[in-house]
Amino acid sequence: MARVPSAAVAATGLVGGYGVARWTKKRQLGGAVLAVAGATAAQQWRQRAGGKAAGALTAAYVAAFAGSHPLAKKVGAWPAVFGVAGAVALASWAVADRNA
């Protein structure tokens, strides 16, 4: 089975979590998508880059989620979500996926 880059898992969690919450109107369901993808990405980060890197990337993932809310007030919801997802994906690729 092909390895899915952790950058794709993390970005999908942020975008998918928001999309599910918006389209189902169930924030808890979107939160579950966000959490499952985040946990999966964290496990990949730990395996590929070690515990410290996984901790830093997990913190970035949570900060991106939190930061997308005030950013959405300035640029709109979808641009904010795509922006933070791209930032997390880039960090994830640079730290964990580039040499994998």
State the angle between helix axes of 51-75 and 77-92 in degrees (0 to 180), rounded to the nearest 10.
Answer: 160
pLDDT at 51: 97
Say whether pLDDT at 100 is over 80.
Answer: no
pLDDT at 1: 55
pLDDT-derived band at 99 (thresholds 50, 70, 90) equals: confident
Q: Is 34:17 a contact under the CB 8 Å cutoff?
A: yes
pLDDT tens readout for residues 22-81: 999 999 999 999 999 999 999 999 999 999 999 999 999 999 999 999 999 999 999 999
Report d(CA 36, CA 13) in Å as an integer. 8
pLDDT at 78: 97
pLDDT at 3: 87
Q: What is the pTM of this model?
A: 0.94
pLDDT-derived band at 9 (thresholds 50, 70, 90) equals: very high
pLDDT at 13: 98
